[in-house]
Chains A and B, each alone.
Chain A
Amino acid sequence: MSLQVENLRVYYQTLRGDVKALDGATFSLKNGEIMGLAGESGCGKSTLGNSFVRLAPPMRFVEGKVTLDGQELPIWDQDKMMPHRFRDISIVPQYAMNAMNPTRKIGLMVSELLKTRQVNYAEMLPELHRRLDLVGLPHDVLGMYPIELSGGMKQRMVMVISTLLNPSLLIADEITSALDVSTQKAVSEMLVEFRDQGFVKSMMVITHDISILYQIADTIMVMYAGKLAEKAPTETIIHAPRHPYTKLLISSLPKVGVTYTQKKLTGIPGNPPLLLTPPTGCRFRERCPVAYEKCLEEPPFVAIGKNHSIACWREAAPHA
């Protein structure tokens, strides 16, 4: 197990009270696992990713334990997290296109970044060149300003920088959502390549686009309104989901080759609950077609099969 998360709760502080954006997440990542994290906007998937890297106000750590390679991460203490960032855990942010300093040439920026981690840029240079070759960027980019690169090139550059010190865990937050389809494919395949080459041990790929996850992820975890709904191998989530939310979500996705005249798809009626005052019990209850009395209690996130966990009373205990 490279990453273990137990009962992690992270709230956002607002004047009107705490927004319970991440309310009790327990899961683990195996060595070499690429886990996709899917869900609608506001379900807490980015909160989960960001909390491993920088849990700063207005985010508030409530409780939970994060263990990476057998070592507990002090994610609530920003100063103590400093030595872990970039070396053990690294992020490719949502807007990677704007993640680089526009006033520095890229090479200089990388050398400054490495200096903060007591790494010599000159010694690192051959490896940096090798990785630039791998992602198909010319070595000249190190002498360029970020503005001279296209969106896809910047994204690839940020990926190379983020993984330069071989972190154990890489968090990729919506890295493909602003890219064209052809670039999207190249960047996604690069993530798999980075794992295969051993640059990163495990990866969390956060996206709302499940079809991308189907291409690259080993497992998919689905979140709903701050809670984990289901985690299973990719094939299981796509072809045999168990949680009612996952089922509805997958069936609402138009597949290439489907037209509305042949097969009319349906959305999920209703809206996610407000996380300022979330309902008790199962948070999907209001929109769930199979909800019953038991759902007034909160369903635990339990294993129902090999590598398959869900938080649903009806599916976890079908004969109840």
Chain B
Amino acid sequence: MLKLENVSKIYRIGAFGNRELRAVSNVSFEVAPGEVISLIGESGSGKSTIGKMILRLISISGGKITLDGVDISQHRGQALKEYYRLVQGVFQDPFSSYNPIFKADRVFEIVRQEFYPQVSAADWYPRVINALEAVGLNPEHVLNKFPHQLSGGQLQRFLIARALLLDIKFLVADEIISMLDASTRIDVLNLLASLKSRGLSILFITHDLSLAHYISERAIILYRGFMVEMGATGRIFDHPLHPYTRMLMASVPRLDQKWQEVEIDAVANLPGNGRGCAYYDRCPVASHQCTQSPPPLVEAEPGHFVACFNYSSQSG
């Protein structure tokens, strides 16, 4: 359905824009209808940049994003609006997603004015009620309130309800639960899971591996803009291949076991020359080959891809 092909994002930095920063490098993946795919990475890995490119909030420097075969970067005017009927995003901070001067349910009215001007306010109201009930909110408790009168979890579900009013096919969920409390975040996660069963595809962007594992079938691990590993979530967790993923899995604080005594993050190598593998300077198993060119993403086992020369040599 939604497909990314060799997508890159290059920012020009420096006083005259004469240096470049590759925020995302040659990322390719496809999301099937009704699939939840997690994009996992630490800060600076480019995970939010990918989400923003899909939402057309920033331009694409290279490659192509297509929805059902149509290149989204070409959309203008009405076509772009139609695109937003299908693809919507929800972001990390629910409090800054609202204008504090207006009541929070104004977001629903804006959707009506922009996308359904032919629907009268009286006909619109039952749809709002339906959407609110779909996200597990009691309309009586949450309508006609200002943003500061609602909790973070309620505001976040409001935004999901807003997206549902549009009958979307694809949701970009960028760290949507990292600002919520433990007792409410699981409700929002379960909500996403139930939306999935209605055929909605979700790109779940997170840094929290246990949340990603709870919700998604497939996961993509990003490091400094490169895809380092992609595969079934359970497989990546139980059997991580890339040295970075292995380090990540060893560092996750878990409730069922204590941290193992492993030497991590010791600066093993000199900084790479910028041409080779992005993980070179922290990698414990790096070799000379890793400085020459970025390792390609190869299928190490069925459905499990990894970008590391240690595996590409085995599979030929």
CB distance from B199 to the nearest CB of A (A): 17
A249, A258, A271: the one within 8 Å of B182 (CB): A249
Q: Among the listed stretches A74-82, A108-116, A209-217, A297-305, which one makes contact with chain B, having 4 or more residues with CB under 8 Å of it?
A: A209-217
- Residue A260 interfacial (CB < 8 Å): yes
A263 to B117, CA, bound (A): 43
Which residue among B190, B251, B255 has the maximum number of chain A CB atoms within 10 Å of its CB? B255
B254 in contact with A189 (CB, 8 Å): no
Q: Which residues of B contact A182 (CB under 8 A)?
A: 42, 247-248, 251, 264-265
A254 with B253: in contact, given A181-B42, A182-B42, A249-B182 (CB under 8 Å)?
no
A260 in contact with B183 (CB, 8 Å): no
Q: Which residues of B contact A181 (CB under 8 A)?
A: 42, 207, 209, 248, 251-253
- Residue A31 interfacial (CB < 8 Å): no
A209 to B182, CA, bound (A): 8
Which residues of A (196-221) have their CB < 8 Å from a CB of B? 208-212, 214-215
B182 in contact with A40 (CB, 8 Å): yes
B190 in contact with A265 (CB, 8 Å): yes
- Residue B186 interfacial (CB < 8 Å): yes
User: Chain B's interface: helix, strand, loop or mixed, by majority?
Assistant: helix
- Residue A318 interfacial (CB < 8 Å): no
- Residue A70 interfacial (CB < 8 Å): no
- Residue A186 interfacial (CB < 8 Å): yes
- Residue A264 interfacial (CB < 8 Å): yes
Which residues of B (239-259) have their CB < 8 Å from a CB of A? 247-248, 251-256, 258-259
Q: Which residues of A contact B68 (CB under 8 A)?
A: none
B183 in contact with A268 (CB, 8 Å): yes
Assign chain B's interface to a size class. Answer: 35 or more
A254 in contact with B189 (CB, 8 Å): yes
- Residue A137 interfacial (CB < 8 Å): no
A189 to B43, CA, bound (A): 21
Which residues of A (248-296) have their CB < 8 Å from a CB of B? 248-250, 252-260, 264-268, 271
- Residue B287 interfacial (CB < 8 Å): no
Q: Which residue of B lies closest to A188 (CB)?
A: B253
Q: Which residues of A contact B115 (CB under 8 A)?
A: none
B214 in contact with A211 (CB, 8 Å): no
A185 with B213: in contact, given A249-B182, A252-B183, A267-B185 (CB under 8 Å)?
no
Q: Mark B188-204, 1 if CB is under 8 A from A, else 0.
A: 01100100000000000
Q: Mark B202-245, 1 if CB is under 8 A from A, else 0.
A: 00000101110111000000000000000001100110000000
Q: Which residue of B lies closest to A189 (CB)?
A: B259
B185, B187, B193, B255: the one within 8 Å of A210 (CB): B255
Q: Which residues of A contact B259 (CB under 8 A)?
A: 185, 189, 215
B213 in contact with A258 (CB, 8 Å): yes
CB distance from A253 to the nearest CB of B (A): 6
A183 to B248, CA, bound (A): 10
Q: Which residues of B contact A212 (CB under 8 A)?
A: 253
A254 to B189, CA, bound (A): 10
A225 to B234, CA, bound (A): 37
| A: number of interface residues (CB 8 Å) | 38
A257 to B248, CA, bound (A): 15
Q: Which residue of A lies closest to B42 (CB)?
A: A180
- Residue A236 interfacial (CB < 8 Å): no
Q: Which residues of A contact B301 (CB under 8 A)?
A: none
- Residue A184 interfacial (CB < 8 Å): yes
A185 in contact with B264 (CB, 8 Å): yes
Q: Which residues of A contact B209 (CB under 8 A)?
A: 181, 256
A252 in contact with B182 (CB, 8 Å): yes
A315 to B85, CA, bound (A): 52
CB distance from A226 to the nearest CB of B (A): 15
A184, A189, A249, A257: the one within 8 Å of B213 (CB): A257
B207 in contact with A267 (CB, 8 Å): no
B251 in contact with A254 (CB, 8 Å): no
- Residue A73 interfacial (CB < 8 Å): no
Q: Which residues of B contact A268 (CB under 8 A)?
A: 183-184
CB distance from A15 to the nearest CB of B (A): 15
Q: Which residues of A contact B264 (CB under 8 A)?
A: 182, 185-186
B186 in contact with A252 (CB, 8 Å): yes
Q: Which residue of A lies closest to B254 (CB)?
A: A256
A130 to B43, CA, bound (A): 30
B182, B248, B258: the one within 8 Å of A253 (CB): B182
A126 to B182, CA, bound (A): 44
- Residue A41 interfacial (CB < 8 Å): yes
- Residue A238 interfacial (CB < 8 Å): yes
A256 with B210: in contact, given A180-B43, A264-B190 (CB under 8 Å)?
yes
Q: Which residue of A lies closest to B41 (CB)?
A: A180
Q: Which residues of B contact A183 (CB under 8 A)?
A: 265
A252 to B184, CA, bound (A): 9
CB distance from B106 to the nearest CB of A (A): 23
A40, A186, A214, A266: the one within 8 Å of B253 (CB): A214
Q: Which residues of B contact A209 (CB under 8 A)?
A: 253
A256 in contact with B251 (CB, 8 Å): no
A144 to B256, CA, bound (A): 41
Q: Which residue of B lies closest to A152 (CB)?
A: B265
- Residue B151 interfacial (CB < 8 Å): yes
The 8 closest A-B pairs by CB, nearest first: A180-B42, A268-B183, A211-B253, A40-B181, A267-B187, A254-B214, A185-B251, A267-B186
Instruction: Please list the residues of chain B having a beta carbon within 8 angstroms of any beta carbon in chain A.
Output: 42-43, 151, 181-187, 189-190, 193, 207, 209-211, 213-215, 233-234, 237-238, 247-248, 251-256, 258-259, 264-265
16 pairs, CB–CB < 8 Å, chain A vs chain B: A40-B182, A41-B181, A180-B42, A182-B247, A185-B251, A185-B264, A209-B253, A238-B255, A250-B255, A252-B185, A253-B186, A256-B237, A257-B256, A259-B214, A259-B234, A265-B186
In addition to A253-B210, A255-B254, 8 A-B residue pairs with Cβ atoms within 8 Å of each other are A186-B265, A212-B253, A214-B254, A256-B237, A256-B256, A257-B238, A260-B190, A260-B215
